[in-house]
Amino acid sequence: MHRAPSLLTDSFATSQRSPRYEGVDALRGLAMVWMTVFHFCFDLSHLGFWPQNFRADPFWTSQRTVIVSLFLFCAGLGQAIALHQGQGWLRFGRRWLQIAGCALLVSAGSFVMFPQSFIHFGVLHGMAVMLLVARCTAGWGRWLWLAGLVALALPSVAHLLLSGPWVEAAPWFNGRAFNWLGLVSRKPFTEDYVPVFPWLGVLWWGLASGQWAMARGRQHWLPWKLPGGLRPLATLGQWSLSYYMLHQPVMIGVLMVVAWMSRGVQG
């Protein structure tokens, strides 16, 4: 399965004493809702209620791409806001440790359920690495737009080279030691795969967009107050890491009980 990330970008976005940006939180919340529907459909397929091909069907793979992109773009926006509000490395480090710790939990949990295809570099792993890179490159300014474009293009270039003139190097880049970079000739068999490239490009563009919006005279849309009907999305977006870690165990647990009860009735 390709799981949409979760994500946790709210933990990095602002300090508790800084104002929230409801529009950014709501956009993240929208991604959370979409991710939940996506995962619910995957769980139905996994348990045999509604078989679908989540690895190859464009209907599902395209949705996964959009969901991950929304999360990473919001992560970039969050970093721009955090830096504008003066977030220091100490607070960033505490939040980063939360992300890294949850990534390890995801790997452990997925190994129990999917030992042959457990998640060794999924969305939380990728987020942890990419947020560090974003923090260190935030000073690039307008060059972030070009860097993002290069990051998006690199996997296609690498695929051509590793399938052609550099084919002898393909086993190295395809192996687990380096496939987290995303410069591979074939994707690894895993339940979630969010490598640094091309996804760092999306986060860089979110960072660049946030820096542009926070510039003088251009940030008026970020503090925009949401209509009452959309505020639940903003609330969900503020708790994205906790929600991400809990929603799948809850849904899978409920569906497994339903599957067990339905087999008992049929039996």
Task: Read off the pLDDT of residues 44-101 as tens digits, 9 standing for 90 and up.
Answer: 999 889 999 999 999 999 999 999 999 999 999 999 999 988 999 999 999 999 999 9
Q: How far apart are CA 79 and CA 134, in angstroms?
A: 8
229 or 23, which is more confident: 23
Of the pLDDT bands very low, low, confident and very high (cuts 50, 70, 90), residue 216 is low
Of the pLDDT bands very low, low, confident and very high (cuts 50, 70, 90), residue 4 is very low
Q: How far apart are CA 47 and CA 224, in angstroms?
A: 42
The reported pLDDT for the residue numbered 226 is 75
Chain Cα centroid distance, residue 195: 10
Q: How far apart are CA 190 and CA 238, in angstroms?
A: 29
Quick count: other Cβ atoms within 10 Å of Cβ 220? 8
Q: How far apart are CA 111 and CA 117, in angstroms?
A: 8
pLDDT digits (tens, 9 = 90+) for 145-204: 999 999 999 999 999 999 999 999 999 999 999 999 999 999 999 999 999 999 999 999
- Residues 138 and 79: beta-carbon distance below 8 Å: yes
Q: Coil, strand, or helix at residue 142?
A: coil
Interval 118-142 mean pLDDT: 96
Single out the residue of 206, 199, 203 nearest to residue 181, CA to CA.
Answer: 199
pLDDT digits (tens, 9 = 90+) for 8-37: 444 333 334 567 788 899 999 999 999 999
Amino acid at 37: V
213 or 9, which is more confident: 213
The reported pLDDT for the residue numbered 109 is 92
Of the pLDDT bands very low, low, confident and very high (cuts 50, 70, 90), residue 264 is low
